[in-house]
């Protein structure tokens, strides 16, 4: 079982805004990071830290956090954003281990 | 920019030990403050962190796998490796090697991944 909880599936109409959430106690202490994974490909980091995008990630991707919930927002979703999205952070043990959410399948309608 | 490439057998028999190597290019594995780690993904399922080794040698393992996992670094070859013992079909997965910079929580970059199937 995962210490970070994500909705299994979310859908959004083309061009609309969608929020994907990640919940867990450790998120009160650590920022979540977000990864996009398309079929047959390795995950790609899209958001890290408070709200940072690696080079090459479109600015329609943004991150936020409140309490035990982190969110990935895609403003103006595009067809190419259809993918699986995973959050990750440190766990709540204090040892420093990492943990992933179960993933959210985003469908762009 | 650091790049990672996994290598190792694609087929392992049940009860045997899975061994994978990750070759680092674009920088020295011994001169950088990084966590060198492994993540796996069973077919059709989510990502699971297996463990990481700090450049100083400290290791961190997923508690659910800790009894079977060993991660080590070979500075002479600029590689780090994963050994997972007593494998079963449940260990069939794509295995990724990853980097996390010291003081961060995120993994970047990732290797392309390598599929390991456990079957007799």
Instruction: Dump pLDDT digits (tens) for A18-51.
Output: 999 999 999 999 999 999 999 999 999 999 999 9
Rounded to the nearest angstrom, the minimum Cα separation between A77 and chain B is 23
In sequence order, the β-bridge partners of residue B58 are: none
B103 — pLDDT class (breaks 50, 70, 90) = confident
Q: In what order do the strands lie in the sheet containing B18-25?
A: B3-7, B18-25, B79-84, B69-74
C-alpha distances in angstroms, B104 versus A57, B9, B59, B68, B96?
19, 31, 16, 26, 19
Total CB pairs under 8 A between chain A and B = 61
- Residue-level pLDDT at B74: 94
Mutation choice for B interface testing from A5, A43, A51, A105 by most B CBs within 10 A: A43
Number of residues that this document lists for chain A: 109
Nearest to B111 by CA among B99, B101, B100, B97: B97
> At a CB cut-off of 8 Å and minimum separation 6, what does A29 contact?
A90, A92
In sequence order, the β-bridge partners of residue A52 are: A48
Indicate if the pLDDT at residue B87 is higher than 90: yes
């Amino acid at each position: 079982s995962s210490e970070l909880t994500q909705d299994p599936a979310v859908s959004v109409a083309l061009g609309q805004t969608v929020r994907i959430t990640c919940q867990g106690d450790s998120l009160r202490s650590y920022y979540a990071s977000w990864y996009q994974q398309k079929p047959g490909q390795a995950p790609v980091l899209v958001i890290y830290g408070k709200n940072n995008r690696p080079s090459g990630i479109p600015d329609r991707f943004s991150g936020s956090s409140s309490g035990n919930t982190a969110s990935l927002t895609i403003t103006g979703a595009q067809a190419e954003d259809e993918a699986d999205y995973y959050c990750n952070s440190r766990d709540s043990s204090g040892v420093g281990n990492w943990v992933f959410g179960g993933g959210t399948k985003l469908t762009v309608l | 920019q650091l790049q990672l490439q996994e290598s190792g057998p694609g087929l392992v028999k049940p009860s045997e030990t899975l061994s994978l190597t990750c070759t680092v290019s674009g920088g020295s594995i011994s001169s950088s403050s990084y966590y060198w780690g492994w993540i796996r993904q069973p077919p059709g399922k989510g990502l699971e962190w297996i463990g990481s080794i700090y450049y100083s040698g400290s290791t961190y393992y997923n508690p659910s796998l800790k009894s079977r996992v060993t991660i080590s670094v070979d500075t002479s070859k600029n590689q780090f490796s994963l050994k997972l013992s007593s494998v079963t079909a449940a260990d069939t997965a794509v295995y990724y090697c990853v980097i996390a910079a010291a003081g961060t929580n995120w993994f970047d970059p990732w290797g392309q991944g390598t599929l390991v199937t456990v079957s007799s």
